[in-house]
Structure 1
Amino acid sequence: MNNVSKPKQLREMIRTLERKLGILSESELACCRITMAQCHALVEIGRAKSISLNELAQLLDLKNSTMSRTVNNLVTGGLARRDIDFQDRRYVTISLTESGIKMFKDIEEGMNLYFEKIYDSITVDKQEQVIESIKMLVEAIGKNECC
Structure 2
Amino acid sequence: MTKEPKNISTMRNAIKIFMRSLGVLEGKKAFCYDCTYAQCHVIWETAQEKKISVNELATRLNITKSAVSRTVDDLVNKGYLDRNPNPDDRRYVDIELTKKGQKVFLEIELNSRRYFEAVLEIIPENKRETTLEGIQIFSSALYQVLKKDTLE
TM-score calculated relative to the size of structure 2: 0.87
CA-to-partner distance for each residue in 1:110-146, whole Å, 9 max, x for gaps? 1011111211221111111011100110111112247
Q: Does 1:96 align with 2:109?
A: no
1:70 to partner: Cα distance: 0.4
- CA 1:49–1:32 in 2, change beyond 3 Å: closer, same or farther? same
Distance in 2 separating the partners of 1:46 and 1:138: 23
Gap regions ≥5 residues in structure 2? none
- Segments of 4+ moved more than 3 angstroms: 28-31
In structure 2, the partner of 1:138 is: 139
Gap regions ≥5 residues in structure 1? none
The percentage of aligned residue pairs carrying the same residue is 37
Q: Secondary structure at the match of 2:91?
A: coil
In structure 2, the partner of 1:85 is: 86
Distance in 2 separating the partners of 1:32 and 1:74: 12
2:86–2:93 CA contact under 8 A, matched in 1: yes
1:5 to partner: Cα distance: 1.5
- The count of residues paired between Structure 1 and Structure 2 equals 143
Q: Does 1:116 align with 2:117?
A: yes
**Which protein has greater RCO, CA pairs closer than 8 Å, 6+ apart?**
2
In structure 1, the partner of 2:55 is: 54
In structure 2, the partner of 1:10 is: 11
RMSD, matched Cα = 1.8
CA-to-partner distance for each residue in 1:52-105, whole Å, 9 max, x for gaps? 111111111111110010001111111101121112111211111111110000
Whose helix proportion is higher, 1 or 2?
2
2:22–2:29 CA contact under 8 A, matched in 1: no
Distance in 2 separating the partners of 1:23 and 1:124: 27
TM-score calculated relative to the size of structure 1: 0.89
